[in-house]
A and B are shown apart, each in its own frame.
Chain A
Amino acid sequence: GAVVSQHPSWVICKSGTSVKIECRSLDFQATTMFWYRQFPKQSLMLMATSNEGSKATYEQGVEKDKFLINHASLTLSTLTVTSAHPEDSSFYICSAQGGGGVYTQYFGPGTRLTVL
């Protein structure tokens, strides 16, 4: 149980385009979903927290107009990187909370974004 999927697993796009990443909780309802970013050889950095049906809460330094988060249902959250630039290239990981352990976050497999 407590499986989280992400799609796509990797994406290459041109600078200036927008990219949407989906995060789904497959076998439980996620009251809260989180979006992280990981740079090479560094820890996970929380970008934003989203609750179903409400606006996401962004961490300091994260541009909410650039990283659009939609949490339309208890099993789906999306992250859209708008007008992507090479510096947005990174590994994006989502997690979902509300599974077997109430406070435990279960992570998706991640999405590798490369912006040319």
Chain B
Amino acid sequence: DQQVKQNSPSLSVQEGRISILNCDYTNSMFDYFLWYKKYPAEGPTFLISISSIKDKNEDGRFTVFLNKSAKHLSLHIVPSQPGDSAVYFCAASAMYGGSQGNLIFGKGTKLSVKP
């Protein structure tokens, strides 16, 4: 049973436009969400996170939105740049559920930003 779902395996966007990556989760105990960016044969790089007490967090070109009632979060990248092309992983954690902060990852969305 997949607790964190990224239903779009790939996304193609034109440079300068907005990239929207989506993530759904099923476990209502999740209270901390993160987005990571990953290049092939490298470890994931932390991008941005959001706690369940917030519905939006912004850091430069990256904004994460959280809709708890829908159990949905999204990552917006604007403007998109060719260097943003990578696989983006959504991850969730239940910090107060005794899981020590274990991250549950989605399967990733491959973003391609075309010049």
Within 8 A of A (CB), among B34-83: 34, 36, 41-46, 49
Tell which of A42, A46, A104, A109 has the most Cβ of chain B within 10 Å.
Answer: A104
Asked whether A103 and B93 contact (CB < 8 A) given A43-B108, A46-B102, A97-B101, the answer is yes
Q: Which residues of the other chain, A, contact B49 by a CB distance below 8 angstroms? A: 101, 103-104
Q: Which residues of the other chain, A, contact B41 by a CB distance below 8 angstroms? A: 91, 110, 112
**A34 touches B (CB below 8 Å):** yes
Question: A20-57 toward B: CB 8 Å interface, digit per residue (1/0)?
Answer: 00000000000010100000001110100101000001
**Interface residue from A2, A49, A93 paired with B102 (Cβ < 8 Å):** A49
Contact, CB under 8 Å: B89 / A43: yes
**A6 touches B (CB below 8 Å):** yes
Tally of contact residues, A, Cβ under 8 A = 26
Asked whether A93 and B43 contact (CB < 8 A) given A32-B100, A104-B34, the answer is yes
**What CA separation (Å) do A46 and B44 show in the bound complex?**
14
Q: Which residues of the other chain, B, contact A103 by a CB distance below 8 angstroms? A: 32, 49, 93, 95, 101
Min CB distance B7 to A, Å, is 13
Contact, CB under 8 Å: A46 / B103: yes
Question: B74-115 toward A: CB 8 Å interface, digit per residue (1/0)?
Answer: 000000000000000100010100001111011110000000
Contact, CB under 8 Å: B105 / A43: yes
